[in-house]
Structure formats: structure tokens, C-alpha cells
């Protein structure tokens, strides 16, 4: 089974939000529902369907309203305040595709996720683990810039976040 470090991190972080700051987890889902988000981080492709009830990881993308593409090291740069979200978008370290209303909803949902992250007791450990995996990963020449935006995959059955 291939390694999916970002999917694992995201899955664990959603579980931590739901257990430790359930109100914020619900708010994140409410802001993102009823949308599917496709994330491509390094070589991983992740699809998540948001509803008011929760976030469901999909085996493959169906019809994402928002597509996000970035690198793990670019995410670390954001966490370490080496770049703002705005700067990451403008210099294409973070690529976003979607209709304006969907992108606005994504931003609102992301803000809820981040507000949950800075409050959930488990997040420092999750971030340390994520950072360890990223630091251990080989560095390519242009490692902070993402690969070309992939096309959406075919329909797959959803998997509820744990």
C-alpha cells in the first residue's frame, strides 16, 4: 500500500478537531458543505466530500468544486510564517481552482480548520510528525512549487473520516 502521509495527517487532524474542538469541526464542515475538495500535495491526490454532517474521504475525485495543488514543503513554509497564504497563491506555490463562491467558501472553511488547529491539544504532535516526514523526504530543485494541476479522477465511494 503506497504511503499517503498528507492524507494520514489530514485524516488524523479532522479526527482531532472532531474530538477536541467539535464546534469548530462542525463549523468547518458547515462552511465547506456541500462541496468536494480535491487536494494534490506532492504526489498524493486526496478527495474529500464535505457535508454538514462531516468530511468524507473519497477513494478518488468525482466532481471537485475546488482543486488545490501544493507541496508539503510549501505547507511547512506557511506554518513557519515564511510565506502568507496570499504570497503562496501569488507566486504559485499554492494553486487554487474553482468558482469564486466556492473559493470563498474554501477560504472560510480553511480558516475554521486553522482556528481549530491552533486550539486542539493534539495538533502540535500532529504537526511535529508531519514536519518530520517532510524533512526526511528528498528535496527536489523546485520542491516548493507544485506539479501541474491534475484532472479530476473517476467516481469512487466515500470513506467517512475516522
Partner 1 sequence: MSEHGAAVAPALAGDPIARAISLTDYVRRSPFAVGGPAAHKEWQHFAILAPGIDLLVNFSSCDDVRPGVTAGGELPRVVLLVRERAWDGDVETFASEEARIRGGRIDFALRHNTLTFRDGVFHIAVEAAERPIALELHLEPRTMPAFVQNIHMLDGPPLHWVVVPRLRTAGWLRVAEREYRLDGAPAYHDHNWGHFLWGHDVAWEWGFVLPESESIPWCLTFVRLTNRARTAALEQGLFLWRGERAVGVFRQHDVAFSTDAALLKPQRVFKVPRAMALVAPEAACDVPRSLEVRAAMGRDWVECRAEAQEVAQVLIPSETGLGVTIFNEVTARTRVRGSVGGETFAFEGRSILEFIRA
Quick one: CA torsion of 16, 47, 132, 124, rounded to 10 degrees? -20
Of 34, 53, 79, 101, the one binding partner 1 (CB under 8 A) is 79
Which CB atom, from 13 or from 61, has the smaller least distance to partner 1? 13
Q: Which of 90, 118, 147, 149 lies at the binding interface for partner 1 (CB under 8 A)?
A: 118
* 141, HSE (Cβ side, Cα atoms, 13 Å): 0
- Residue from the set 124, 149, 150, 156 that interacts with partner 1 by CB under 8 A: 124
Closer residue to partner 1 (CB): 19 or 149: 19
Cell representation of residue 53: 454532517
For every residue of 13-45, DSSP letters joined together read HHHHHHHH-HHHHHHHHHHHTT-EEEEEETTEE
Binds partner 1 (CB under 8 A): choice among 27, 38, 102, 161? 27
End-to-end Cα separation, the chain, in angstroms? 19
Q: Would you tell me which residues interact with partner 1 (CB under 8 A)?
A: 19-24, 27, 78-81, 84-86, 111-112, 114-115, 117-121, 124, 127
Amino acid at each position: 500500500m503506497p504511503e499517503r502521509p498528507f492524507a494520514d495527517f489530514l485524516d488524523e487532524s479532522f479526527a482531532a478537531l472532531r474530538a477536541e474542538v467539535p464546534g469548530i469541526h462542525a463549523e468547518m464542515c458547515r462552511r465547506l458543505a456541500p462541496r468536494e475538495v480535491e487536494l494534490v500535495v506532492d504526489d498524493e491526490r486526496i478527495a474529500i466530500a464535505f457535508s454538514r454532517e462531516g468530511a468524507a474521504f473519497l477513494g478518488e475525485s468525482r466532481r471537485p468544486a475546488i482543486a488545490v495543488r501544493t507541496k508539503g514543503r510549501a505547507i511547512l513554509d506557511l506554518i513557519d510564517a515564511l510565506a502568507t497564504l496570499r504570497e503562496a497563491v501569488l507566486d504559485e506555490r499554492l494553486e487554487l481552482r474553482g468558482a469564486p463562491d466556492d473559493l470563498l467558501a474554501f477560504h472560510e472553511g480553511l480558516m475554521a480548520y486553522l482556528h481549530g488547529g491552533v486550539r486542539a491539544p493534539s495538533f502540535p504532535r500532529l504537526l511535529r510528525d508531519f514536519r518530520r516526514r517532510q524533512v526526511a523526504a528528498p528535496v527536489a530543485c523546485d520542491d516548493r512549487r507544485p506539479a501541474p494541476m491534475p484532472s479530476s479522477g473517476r467516481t469512487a465511494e466515500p470513506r467517512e473520516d475516522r
